[in-house]
Amino acid sequence: MLEISFAKATLPKEGVLVLPWAEGTALAGQAAALDKSLKGGLARALEAAAFKGKAGQSLTLYAAGPYKRILVLGLGKAEAPRAAETLGGRLAAALASEAEASLLAEDLTPAQAAAAGLGARLRAYRFDVYRTTLKPDEAPKLAQLKILCADPHAAEADFTPLAAVAHGVEFTRDLVTEPANILYPAEFAKRAEGLKKLGVKVELFDEDDLKKLGFGALLAVAQGSARAPRMVVMQWLGASSHEGEGKKAKKPKDPLVFVGKGVTFDSGGISLKPAGGMEDMKWDMAGAGAVAGAMAALAGRRAKVDAVGLIGLVENMPSGTATRPGDVVKSHSGQSIEILNTDAEGRLVLADVLHYAVQRFSPKYMVDLATLTGAIIIGLGHEYAGLFANDDELAAQLTTAGALVGEKLWRMPLAAPGEAYDKELNSPIADVKNIGGGRAAGSITAAQFLQRFVDKTPWAHLDIAGMAWATKEAPVTPKGATGFGVRLLDAFARGFED
């Protein structure tokens, strides 16, 4: 993990120095002093490279005076959304071969300096748990970043809650990256239980518990696997615990409820997936990972909000005990479900957990996250997650939160019960079937299915299938697990804090 520290904005004596350059600015302050010490070498280099400080521009000077390396990064418009965060991410990527560096951030506000630290930490994430040998150019090196700014105490104060959010993202990325032979339902539940050390109340439900609760839909998915299912309920009572002269709350009041799909491996069951790309199905639990990471973030920064995270954990495998296409099961809600495709399993898991959450916690708002459909990738690619909601205000709040942290949502249609898309799910022998009439509108009919299990609760479904894993680098995201959803839920929750 990259260590971030803050200090007064004075030029370091040596090492690797990063200089952010805002568009339309001139050499001043410590940057002017640096140029003077280099006998005008910095100004000449900037002029020769036609460096204007635009976002994305970079310039490197090697062996410049006492410095091993000076990296000048274009900040663009300093007031642009996430400009400083993006700068920090670019810094971490460019200096991956260096052990430590200093960022001269005298012109950044404390909040911007903190954001730069967040961006650097998120971009520096690595998962090398199972690699026994690393080539010299592959070994992680950047371990320390010192941010030199006008008010280091204020910047550090701003960074502290961001560090908790970064931890939540890293926790999620670790979970999503783990192979399915290591991270199966019981192991996932064990790791979620580790959130107790942050003050999260954690309850674990095993297979017998789920049978007693009547989780027929979730259990139908799990019954083909040798790995037993689990459900985890995580409660952070950050608002209630601050009421009544500091008395510790025993139950949440009007909580925000987050529900995650946790299929630790999805073979498709009897409706077996093609072999090509099936290895990617280890991250079919990314929704549950995001919920666990969000709970870690909220607890880590001591958020003054009551939030409950529930995750349904199963493995979907083909075997002699697996659910067959055409089987009918009874869900926690009492509704019967005709399972026509066992590869439409995530919605079965969510159906039981969503209804249980409604019945037990009476959410103010409920949001589920799931890598639910390939159809959403066809529709939105890897730029937006699909947003389906039965409440306009909730949809707007989530969209705003996502835009704030760069986790974008695009609202998709959701029909009222009994209308066009919803009618696709009517079954001739049960209350509902788990797929629509064909491939058309697959992500929409999946959301319509979920809507049947939330009663009148204000609810949103985020289909994150296109956002949970990245095949190319982004400013604050390396290749691999993105941790998408953690920052979005954290930003959403901030809207309900005093």
- Could you list the active site residues? 273, 347
Question: 140: buried, middle or exposed (CB in 10 Å: 19+, 13-18, 0-12)?
Answer: middle
CA distances (Å), 415 to each of 358, 384, 393, in order? Answer: 20, 21, 17
Contact 468, 286 (CB under 8 A): yes
Distances (CA, A) of 448 to 86, 110, 411, 460: 37, 45, 14, 11
- Region at 141 (left for phi over 0; alpha for psi -120 to 50; beta for the rest): alpha
Quickly count: other Cβ atoms within 10 Å of residue 226's Cβ.
9
Q: Using CA atoms, how far apart are residues 97 and 95, in angstroms rounded to an integer? A: 5
Provide the token pair at 71. 């990296």
Backbone angles phi, psi at 12, to 5 degrees: -70, 160
Per 3-state DSSP, the chain is made up of helix, strand and coil in percentages (nearest 5) of: 35, 20, 40
Q: Are 99 and 78 in contact (CB under 8 A)?
A: no
Give the SS3 label for residue 461: strand
One DSSP character per residue, 248-303 reads PPSS-SS-EEEEEEEEEEE--TTSPPPSTTGGGGGGTTHHHHHHHHHHHHHHHTT-
**CA 305, CA 89: separation in Å to the nearest integer?**
29
- Give the Cα separation of 400 and 395 in Å (integer): 9
CA end-to-end span of the chain: 32
- What's the CA gap between 338 and 326, in Å, rounded? 6
DSSP, collapsed to helix, strand or coil, labels residue 122 as helix
The whole-angstrom distance between residue 68's C-alpha and the CA centroid of its chain comes to 36
